[in-house]
Amino acid sequence: MFYLSRLYVPYGLFSMYRAGIFQESFSFVEVKYVFRILVVMQALDLLGHAGLRYLTRSIVNKHVGENEMEYAFKKKKVMDDYLIQKNYFKSKKDAKETPGSN
C-alpha cells in the first residue's frame, strides 16, 4: 500500500495534466486538485497500515503476551531471591546476638 500510495501521486498529476487542468498561470483549482492527491496518498498509507495491523494482530498479541509473562516471572524471581537472602542474613544476625541459643 505504501508503494501504491507513492505511485498514485505521479499518476494523479499526469492524469490532471492530460485532462488540461493545469493552466499557464497558477490557479486555486490546481492547488485543490494537488491537495486532493496528497489526501488520497495519505489515506492509502493509513489503509495499508491498518490492514497490516489487522493481519498481524494475532501474532503480535501472542508474542507480546509471552514477553510480558517472562518479564513478570523474572521480576518475581529477583524479588524472591532478595527476600530469601534478606531472611538468611537476618537469621544469621539473630543467631550472633543470642549466643546461648546454639
Higher per-residue confidence, 90 vs 38: 38
Give pTM, 2 decimals: 0.47
Q: What share of the chain is helix, strand, coil (3-state, %, to 5)?
A: 90, 0, 10
Retrieve residue 97's grid coordinates.
546476638
Please give the mean pLDDT across all residues of the chain.
Answer: 79
Local structure of residue 24 (DSSP, 8 states): S
In this predicted model, what pLDDT tens digit does every residue of 74-87 receive, in sequence order?
888 888 777 787 77
pLDDT band at 67; cut points 50, 70, 90 = low
Retrieve residue 26's grid coordinates.
497558477
Residue 50 has a pLDDT of 92
